[in-house]
Amino acid sequence: MPRFNDLAAHVLTGVLIALITLPAQADFGSKHADQHRRDGPAARDRQAKSDGTAQEPEPYDFDKHANTVESHHTGTVETVLGGHVRQADLEALLPFEAFIVAFEKGDELFEINYNALDGVGVNVGNGQRFTSLPRLDLTGPDAWASVQPARITGPNSDSCISCHNVPVADGAGGVNDNALRIDPERLQKGFIERQAPHVFGLGALQLLAEEMTTDLQAAEQNAIAQACATRARQNVKLSTKGISFGSLRVGCNSTNYRGLEGIDRDLVVKPFEWKGLTAFVRDFVRGAAHQELGLQATEIVGDQDSDFDKVTNELSVGDITALTIYNAGQARPVTRLELNQIVAYLTPAEIERYGLPLRAVEVQSINNGEKVFENLQCTGCHTSALVAVSPVFTEPSLHSEFRDEVFPAGNSISLPTVAISFDITNDILDNLAFLPSGQTLGQFERDENGGAIVRLYGDLKRHDMGKVLAEEIDEGNVGSSVFLTENLWGAGSTAPYLHDGRATTLTEAIQFHGGEARESRKLFKAASQTDQADLLTFLNNLVLYLEP
């Protein structure tokens, strides 16, 4: 049984050789070039106020250090990639080559540690660039609270992978990596915490969301047309892929949304963030770069130094495309049952990490635990699998709700003109180890119609989780106790649990369930110890794996 798909490996090797031999692009947007420097206002002395209140920390003046830094260092993007990724260069490649090159470039951008010459971080007082606490107190003209677009957290890291590494690269974050956030609109007081989720399988989630959105919006539009034709209001049930989003009462010129459940009135399924606030991978990527790293994408702010670090064009359009393709092209989470089938090809460390080989009694416990999962009504929200009818991910998306019609920076920044696409059932580049079925660990399964089976254990819908999990801030104005169903794939590898990591074990996570999930919690408590143990064994069977 071969470990790798020889054809895919051959294609990848050939493209990477071609990539290495591409002409160097000296004008990719080097962060150490003079044209990317912006002279800001001179540092202002901050004196203690006469009323005795604390003085505001002196703003960090990059100009004082820039020349010396630039004489000895270059930006990490320049050092590792030779410069920023040019969207035009990606679009000039053949389709599959463009996918591979974008994925590999995105991999580097995801893992590197950015430095000051890349524009990482922002002034958070006393010359510091990073903070675990939003600094609303820094209201100076070139300090945290004045950054545009307004930040709600950080910057708290210099690398994507520093928060996405449990138990492997691209995994989740530990509780020490939690991000503290404020209300985006700055109207509500207090803080909330967010734990970094893993990024496996993101492309599949967007594909599901696109198709579900199409179904829901079509149902509303059909009802409106029927109401106009009959001059009678219509009741329409909103259901897609077996998931109910409630109902609408529709007239020719008005809609009553009172029966809507778990989704915004635009009927766009948003599969990202704990509150389900972001629809597509590109938006998620550039937002995280801005908030967590302090890297402002050109497509957000244009050729402007809107975070006062004397660096512009911190991430190019091509950079964001590469990061989007890398995140969307992640392998799917797997199971210990699958890894048990290829245990002979795993390293000793992997065998120990995943508790392999499995004993017969463990396999039986996993299988029974899956039945218990259903009996306790967990699948009412954590649907075991959904099918994406089309397995082809496209960036930009072909769906108007999942792409930019205009970048946030406006028409001055050109949108991509050529889409990059790949098939999640055939083109995933990681985890090419073969299962006995002939499928690789990385690819998503195909159904009999050529669609992709996505075993996410979720429903991409928001639910009320009860007052115990209600937060101080109602982020997104969706309800302080309302959260997107957390997809359980990878749960066995990603403790702690819940949006803020408060649950150190799966049992705690279950016990915190309330609201719409309280009946499942009651059934769990009433279950036999054997069934409880088997349920936990089943959940711990859902793991993340990335081949070395």
Residues 363 and 498 in one domain: yes
8 Å CB contact between 252 and 227: yes
Please report the pLDDT score of residue 298 as a whole number: 98
Low-confidence stretches of the chain (pLDDT beneath 70): 1-63, 66
8 Å CB contact between 82 and 126: no
| End position of a domain, from candidates 220, 236, 256 | 256
Bridge partners, 334 (sequence order): 543
Name the DSSP letter for residue 74: -
Output the CA torsion sign for 512, 517, 521, 522.
positive
Q: How far is CA 434 from CA 2, 24, 333, 342, 423, in A?
A: 7, 37, 15, 8, 18
Is the omega angle on the peptide bond into residue 184 within 30 degrees of 0, that is, cis? no
Residues 242 and 373 in one domain: no
Please report the pLDDT score of residue 55 as a whole number: 52
Distance CA 173, CA 163 (A): 5
| End position of a domain, from candidates 241, 256, 271 | 256
Within a domain: 377: yes
Within a domain: 248: yes
| pLDDT tens figures, 284-316 | 999 999 999 999 999 999 999 999 988 999 999
Residues 530 and 434 in one domain: yes
Residues 250 and 355 in one domain: no
Q: Which CATH number covers residue 521?
A: 1.10.760
Within a domain: 161: no
Residues 473 and 340 in one domain: yes
Residues 374 and 252 in one domain: no
Distance CA 266, CA 273 (A): 18
Residue written as tokens 């590898």?
493
Query: 115: helix, coil or strand?
Result: coil
Please report the pLDDT score of residue 60 as a whole number: 58
Which residue from 118, 115, 158, 147 is spatially nearest to 36, judged by alpha carbons? 118
Domain of residue 449, residue span: 334-391+426-543
| End position of a domain, from candidates 234, 256, 278 | 256
Within a domain: 72: no
Bridge partners, 482 (sequence order): 464
Residues 378 and 498 in one domain: yes
Residues 237 and 382 in one domain: no
Within a domain: 122: no
Within a domain: 279: no
Residues 366 and 480 in one domain: yes
Please report the pLDDT score of residue 59 as a whole number: 57
Please report the pLDDT score of residue 316 as a whole number: 98
The total number of structural domains in the chain stands at: 2
Residues 383 and 523 in one domain: yes
Within a domain: 228: yes
- 10 Å CB burial of residue 242 (0-12, 13-18, 19+) is exposed
Within a domain: 152: no
Q: How far is CA 333 from CA 169, 200, 250, 490, in A?
A: 13, 6, 40, 6
